Every structure is written in C-alpha cells, then in structure tokens.
Amino acid sequence: MKVRLLSYTPDAERLIAAAAKNCYSAVGVDDIWEGLDEEKTQSFLQMLAGIGHESPIEHASFSFAIEGVSRSLLAQITRHRIASYSVQSQRYVREKGFEYIVPPEIARIPAAKEAFVRAMQDDQRTYEELTGILQQQHLQRLLAAGIPEKKARSQAEKQAIEDARYVLPNACATRIVLTMNARSLQHFFRLRCCNRAQWEIRALAEQMYQLVYAVAPTLFSKSGPPCVDGACTEGKMNCGQAAQVRAHYLALRGQNQEE
C-alpha cells in the first residue's frame, strides 16, 4: 500500500477559524482573516471542537493518491459518500498480469498462501481466455460492419475486457485518487481507525491520518478512533484494547499519556 497526500487546502486551519468566526462577528471577513494569527487560530479550532460546531471544517479538503489496495477495500471506502473518487477502470485498462493483495493471515500460513496464489493464477488465465474469445467475436462483427481494422481491434478489446473483468477477484489491486473534506475525514477516522475495522482499510486510514495530522495538527487533534480521546463507542463489541490503541495514537501525535 502506498498513500500520498497530493494536495490540500492552503492555510486550512486559518480558513476554518475565519469561516466559523464569521458566524459570530460583526466585522468583515477581511478583518477576521487579518486578525487570526497562529495562536488565535488554534484557540478557535479547539473551541469549535469543544462545542461540536463541525460545519466550518467542511471548508478544508484533502486529496490522496492511494495505490496497492484491493477491490475489496474499494467496495468499503466508497460507502463514505461525501467524497470524490477517481478509480482505475477495469473497462478501459486491460489487467495483464494483474497485481493482487494477499491478506496477512493468508500470507502467514504457507498452505493458505499457496492455495491463494494458485487461485489468482487461475483467475488470470481465465480472464485472458475469456478476453481472447470475446475479442475475436467482436472483431469479426465489427469488420463485417465495415469498421477499419485498427479501430475495430481497439473497440473489440475494450468490449471484451468489459465482460471478462467479471472473473477478476476482490484481491485485484487498484489505484484511487480520493478527496474528502475535513469533516468527512474525521468521521472516516472514527470508524476506520478503530481496531474493529477490517485490516486493510484500517491500515489505509492510519496512513491518511498521519499525513493530515502532519499538516493540520490542531484540526485533527481529536481525530482517530473514539477511544483515543474519550470512551469506546463499540459497547459489548469493543476490542478490549482501548489503552493500547490510545497509546498508539498518542505516539503518532508525538504525545504521551500524561499530556
């Protein structure tokens, strides 16, 4: 898995503070902006977090390049609907020798890994076989319709892989460009950084968290799983490891338990 913060709202924390302060101020936005130094910005963001005024943080957005994740993860992450996704297409990109993600528990057991790799190889062979059969049928039909050969071959391949992709596994690797606003990210972190989240999306969420915390530490000072800065919200389904999770996230923030 490779995650990179491609772009984010410049001066995001100051922007959020100015937008929120505008709700309570009689002066113009220019004056509000000029009056916000780093200390006042941090103080105002902390106040917003304390009173639960979340709508102003939607003004800041963060864009990520995500590579080396599975289609299984894609199915999970797109359930977070207040976001923008651009995903590598299996309709237009032929999966020649497709890469795949091996779950750690499968990789840990030699017999399980051997069976898994064999299944991936079988999927690849079937995909290529189906692509070849469909492509030949489409090519003959397009040529018979008078389509020039070069164009016909291109169209035939595209039409073939559109159907052949149905045999590709959830393990198949993909690439995503993802943009979320800060409020959506905070919600994402609360759910997906939790120990009860599925392992792959939890690993992704933690990397994303580290990237945004590095550029907007006050904004994301209370982000992460709920148990880090409060009580676990999982009830009887809790992992029983709140202390360890809390220590882990405080370490990511460069803090310690006494702070």
Distance CA 14, CA 38 (A): 8
Distance CA 183, CA 219 (A): 10
229 to 40, 48, 74, 134, 232: CA distances (angstroms): 23, 16, 29, 56, 9
192 is an active site residue:
yes
Say if residues 59 and 9 touch (Cβ distance below 8 Å). Answer: yes
Q: Mapping DSSP to helix (H, G, I), strand (E, B) and coil, where does residue 44 land?
A: helix
Contacts of 109 (CB under 8 A, 6+ apart): none
CA nearest to 77, candidates 200, 165, 181: 200
Give, as one character, the DSSP assignment of residue 27.
S
Distance CA 65, CA 74 (A): 13
Give the active site residue among 165, 183, 192, 246. 192
**Residue that has been written with the tokens 């003004």 in this structure:** 59
Q: Mapping DSSP to helix (H, G, I), strand (E, B) and coil, where does residue 174 land?
A: strand
**Residue that has been written with the tokens 């919200």 in this structure:** 233
Q: Mapping DSSP to helix (H, G, I), strand (E, B) and coil, where does residue 54 land?
A: coil
Say if residues 127 and 167 touch (Cβ distance below 8 Å). Answer: yes
**Residue that has been written with the tokens 């004056």 in this structure:** 31
Active site residues: 192
